[in-house]
Amino acid sequence: MRTYSSCLICKSPSPQGVESHGRLFFHCGHCDYIFQSPETRLSFEQERRRYLEHNNDLRDLRYLKYLEKTWLQVGPLPSGSVVLDYGCGPTKGLEKLLQPRYRVLSYDPIFWPQDLQMEFGKVDVIFCSEVIEHAFFPTRVFDHWNQLLRPGGLITLRTCFHPEMDKMRDWWYASDETHIGFFSQCTFEFIAKKWGWQLNKVHNPYVFATGPLIVH
């Protein structure tokens, strides 16, 4: 059976291979994370071209409603709170949706790369919608979040939980070649413990993965 050296999140040895839509992923039996081998992923330029195909038009009320649906998981915040849209893509939809009530900072490693800590300091909320499943090395993202958040800051993210292994082959969410890492409630419970977070809500098995997370 095909295996990988170790899980990209918990470092457990020999995750087992599982195929989906013609791609080979690896499933960790310890933290339940599923990931595509880094060696077989798209190049930076291929990934960038694929994201430019997304139809995220700021004039499209449906797109703004989609963002708002995720944002409502955060709940009311004090006026002037600093919100980081982590992985905003080529557009800055959350800025349009929330400003001037809150100060919204937009970051994307491909389209808006910058040293967030140097530019912005600490933030009150990290908003991550349909992004974490694209992360090549999610542990680096979680480390980054802990550096950026104020004590007691909030994280809300949205991604689809993966199904049982016997349903992975035809799972629609894995058909997007930029979706390279999949989580479950078990995965997020491990992540919360490892990074010192407290899970407040887990909408399993819905699209909202966790949110908000409180960082201590």
Tokens of 141: 């993202």
Give residue-wise pLDDT tens across range 91-111.
Answer: 888 988 888 889 999 998 888
Which residues lie below 8 Å from residue 88, measured CB to CB, with a gap of 6+? 94, 106, 107, 108, 111, 112
pTM, whole model, 2 decimals? 0.86
Does 175 reside within a domain?
A: yes
Domain count, the chain: 1
Does 134 reside within a domain?
A: yes
9-18, 100-109, 179-188: least confident range: 100-109
Does 9 reside within a domain?
A: no
pLDDT: which is higher, 42 or 164: 164
The whole-number average pLDDT for the span 157-169 is: 93
Tokens of 112: 């808006």
CATH number for position 99: 3.40.50.150
Residue 200 domain boundaries: 16-215
Does 132 reside within a domain?
A: yes
CA-wise closest residue to 164 among 32, 30, 3? 32
- Please list, residue by residue across 125-158, b when 16 or more beta carbons sit within 10 angstroms of its beta carbon and e when fewer do: bbbbbbbbbbbbebeebbebbeebbeeebbbbbb
Does 117 reside within a domain?
A: yes
Does 211 reside within a domain?
A: yes
Does 77 reside within a domain?
A: yes
What pLDDT was estimated at residue 209?
32
Which residues lie below 8 Å from residue 211, measured CB to CB, with a gap of 6+? 70, 73, 74, 155, 156, 157, 158, 200, 201, 203
Does 104 reside within a domain?
A: yes
Q: Where are the alpha helices (DSSP H) in 53-98?
A: 61-71, 93-98
Amino acid code (one letter) for 21: H
Tokens 């899970």 map to which residue? Answer: 199
What pLDDT was estimated at residue 122?
84
The whole-number average pLDDT for the span 37-46 is: 83
Cα gap 116→72, rounded to integer Å: 24
Average pLDDT, the chain: 84
| Residue 175: CB atoms within 10 Å | 12
What pLDDT was estimated at residue 55?
62
What pLDDT was estimated at residue 201?
78
Handedness of CA 7, 189, 136, 216 (dihedral sign): negative
